Structure 1
Amino acid sequence: MTTWDEAFADRYDEWAYLTADIPFYVGLARDADGPLVELAIGNGRVAIPVARATGRPVIGLDTSPSMLAQAGERAAEAGVTLELSQSDMRELALETPAALVYCPARALMHLPTWADRRRTFERVASALRPGGRFAWNVFAFDHQLATHLDGSRQDHPVPHTIHYAVGDNRVDLVVAAGDATSSLWWGTRNEWLGLIDVAGLELEALYGGFAGEPFTEDSREYVFVTRRPAH
């Protein structure tokens, strides 16, 4: 069984149809005075607009060779610089501390365990300069939606079937042919806040959407902005 991104890299644009997050991360990058880093950069969907808007390179990590190849090609076409690395976010290490590290498209949910996430958060915290930001978004588990979607076939954007393993906090997206699966592990708000705390970061904001909507009990997206303490 292969990972979703590697098996279907040529259809990533169909799957990653979200665009509302791009202005959000571009805004954070414009405010950042120093190196910019994207975890799970994919094909550069967010990083290329960030590099274009800031006029600065974006350091991009991903484990997928196919996605990195696409990112490099798209960056060249766009005339921007991406410093690409085939590496695991759990092993993040930078020569120069970053002003902003961000992880869009719910990519942190591909880390299956608390230990994986804790290591990632600790690596990010150590890679940030004092006052540097770490931002990401993930979905909030919706039991009603899970009940409705579990076992169902979806034709958009790529034919796939959805399976929920509630006891494991996991949702599997299985393509129609059954030869590739993408799994995501969700967390509660307190679990994400706990990761922020153990990594020594500070919560700056928690939004319910990319327009800065307040997070409420009805929100279905966590949009976090955190900082490494300035002192």
Structure 2
Amino acid sequence: MSEYDAFAAVYDEWTGPIGEDDVDFYVSLAAEAEGPVVELAVGNGRVAVPIAVRTGRRVIGIDVSPAMLAGASERARAAGVELDLRLGDMRELALEERTDLVICPFRSLLHVHGHDERLRVFRGVFDTLSPGGRFAWNAFVFDPEIAAELDGQWREQGGVRHRVDYDHDERRIDLSLEGGPTIPLWWADPAEWDRLVEESGLEVEARYGWFDRSPFDESSREAVYMARKPA
């Protein structure tokens, strides 16, 4: 069992506000890749299945939640594709085969606490990538006005009733489902992501403000990253 299992039944509704923009972005990267695509925190296959369907690439999906993996397996069967699904923690990433694309969609790196633990993920990605391979992920950019509006309020997102509580000292959001678990997320600013890229041996290839590859600037509320392992 995992604390994330409770989200499995409502995950499609929960991710609704992003729409298909992120799916199209990650599919486009997979179309440029060779070999398997590795998705960290694969969830219910919302991104992995379209990659498999639209590119024919083999997708290795890793997640800590058995319920999420079961949902991904069911979604793949319904779409007529297979996913290589593995129960595991992204901080312990250690694959025998190399790849030229690792992705971590839908802000999932924010579930990893602190710089040291995130660096473990990034170094695992570095070891998994072939020379010239890419690591792509996205995360929200902390906005104090948005935080003040949402803090402590019960709201609905995609029809899912939830509450968020901010701890500014810890840079943590506690996300609670109504009648369900509370899950922590820890935000990071672009300077922190840049530092992780550098310390892991990767190089920033691009930083976008949205999945349409629009430039990142001070008004951007989402950071969409592509890093590359030096050739």
| Other structure's SS at 1:102 match | strand
Amino acid at match of 1:104: P
More displaced 10-residue stretch of structure 1: 78-87 or 154-163: 154-163
1:35, CA displacement in angstroms?
A: 1.8
Q: Which residue of 2 aligns with 1:11?
A: 10
Work out whether residues 98 and 128 of structure 1, in 8 Å CA contact, stay in contact via their aligned partners in 2: yes
Q: Once the two structures are aligned, what percentage of the paired residues are identical?
A: 51
Work out whether residues 57 and 80 of structure 1, in 8 Å CA contact, stay in contact via their aligned partners in 2: no
1:74, CA displacement in angstroms?
A: 1.0
Q: Which residue of 1 aligns with 2:116?
A: 115
* TM-score, normalised relative to structure 1: 0.96
Unaligned runs of 5+ in 2: none
1:155, CA displacement in angstroms?
A: 2.5
Give CA deviations for 1:103-141 in whole Å, capped at 9, x if unaligned: 000000000121110000000001000000000000000
Work out whether residues 142 and 221 of structure 2, in 8 Å CA contact, stay in contact via their aligned partners in 1: yes
1:94, CA displacement in angstroms?
A: 1.5
Matches within 5 A, 1:193-204: 193-204=194-205
Q: Which residue of 2 aligns with 1:132?
A: 133
Give CA deviations for 1:55-97 in whole Å, capped at 9, x if unaligned: 1210000000000011111111111121000001111111210
Cα distance in 1 for partners of 2:186, 2:200 equals 20
Cα distance in 2 for partners of 1:151, 1:43 equals 28
1:176, CA displacement in angstroms?
A: 2.2
Amino acid at match of 1:61: I
Q: Which residue of 2 aligns with 1:50?
A: 51
Cα distance in 2 for partners of 1:16, 1:29 equals 21
Amino acid at match of 2:11: Y
Q: Which residue of 1 aligns with 2:162?
A: 160
Cα distance in 2 for partners of 1:82, 1:48 equals 8
Work out whether residues 29 and 36 of structure 1, in 8 Å CA contact, stay in contact via their aligned partners in 2: yes
Runs of 4+ in 1 over 6 A off after TM superposition: none
* TM-score, normalised relative to structure 2: 0.96
**Paired residues, what number?**
228
